[in-house]
Amino acid sequence: MSQNLPDSMRTSVLEGAKTLTIEDRPLPQAGPGDVLVRVAAVGVCGSDVHYFRHGRIGDFVVDGPLVLGHELSGVIAAVGAGVDEARIGQRVAIEPQKPCHRCRECLAGHYNLCPNMEFYATPPIDGAFTGYVTIESAFAHAVPDSISDEAAALLEPLSVAITTMRKAHVVPGSRVLIAGAGPIGIICAQTARAFGASEVIVSDLVPERRERALGYGATQVVDPAEVDVATAGFDVDAFVDASGAPRAVFAGIQAVRPAGYAVLVGLGNSEMTLPVEHIQNKEVWVTGIFRYTDTWPAGIHLVESGQVDLDSLVTGRFDLDHVEEALESDLDPASLKSIVYPHQ
Ligand SMILES: [Zn+2]
Ligand SMILES: [Zn+2]
């Protein structure tokens, strides 16, 4: 079952580092249990930028044409066998992952760690800088009309922040230190407050970014070039690294109180030095996060209830012919989040 659908869709394709082309591609078909989604808005993520500039992220290498974009919202345009036709026309936010649901990790409840995962815009799986995509029906989360297309797309980075707060055990009264005031740091600061944090200290080298963090949940901002985070006596319950900077990670872990938590979110070097004595002697828990499991319902609630503002993070809007500009927009320090509109 479907609405009237076109025969083809314009698609922005990454052919290799720094090389984008536009192709007309046939629409994908919604298989059993899947829905076909007409893409509305797509957020540009740091990982998209990284694939565009370097053609790889660690072991994930772009060795064939790849469609970028994994933060998206849209409208269900068709459903596959076994999916309620009443969903056609529904506005949805997409959880852009396809786990196998059968392996040990899926059965253990952390499907984000599925070794058979197909994740949007991660080689060789195509993403959403295109007209239509498919996803299993349960991962097309209905959104209320009070949530805009842009905010619905940005439920994806919000999901990263929700996972981070869960891993960091942030509860009412927690004191949290966040390194890095880019998009993820800013969303983490808001989410920490929504989880009840009483204090959110954000460190960033750039004054404009520190200033902006104060408008998004930070109760205090620090310049790590002036304040030694490791010895400033912060003694926080949780440290979140959203910078990927080895020095920030080293100092941030040292700012964690005994038996507290450190969560590494930022992408940086694959190897770095850690303050092992502090981790051992203070029994600090250190972990990373890899995407998310079961976060969209929480994200929809946080946005709908006004506890997290995603709309005002958007600083640039682009059509498919200007994806390159969208991917380069992070070079402007005033830019925070860019959105691509594939149908404009
Ligand atoms: Zn992302
Ligand atoms: Zn699996």
Tokens of 231: 């010895």
Residue whose tokens read 């969208």: 326
Backbone angles phi, psi at 301, to 5 degrees: -65, -45
Q: CA 194 to CA 198: how far, in whole Å?
A: 10
Q: Average pLDDT in the 226-235 region?
A: 97
Rounded to the nearest whole angstrom, what is the distance from the C-alpha of residue 157 to the centroid of ligand 1? 5
What integer pLDDT is reported at residue 81 of this predicted model?
98
The model's pLDDT over 287-305, given as tens digits with 9 standing for 90+, comes to: 999 999 999 999 999 999 9
Tell me if the bond preceding 124 is cis, omega within 30° of 0: yes
User: Ligand 2 centre and the CA of 65: distance in Å?
Assistant: 25
**Measured CA distances, 61 to 20, 52, 66, 245 (Å):** 16, 11, 10, 22
Tally the C-alpha atoms within 13 A of residue 197's C-alpha that lie toward its C-beta.
30
Q: Give the number of other CB atoms < 10 A from CB of residue 340.
A: 30
Ligand 2 centroid from CA 290, angstroms: 14
Nearest to 153 by CA among 141, 169, 165, 164: 141
Q: What is the mean pLDDT of the segment spanning 276-284?
A: 98
Q: What is the pLDDT of residues 24-76, one digit of tens each?
A: 999 999 999 999 999 999 999 999 999 999 998 888 888 899 999 999 999 99
- Report which bound ligand comes closest to the CA of 111: 2
- 2 pLDDT band, cuts 50/70/90, is low
Q: Band of the pLDDT at 118, cuts 50, 70, 90? A: very high
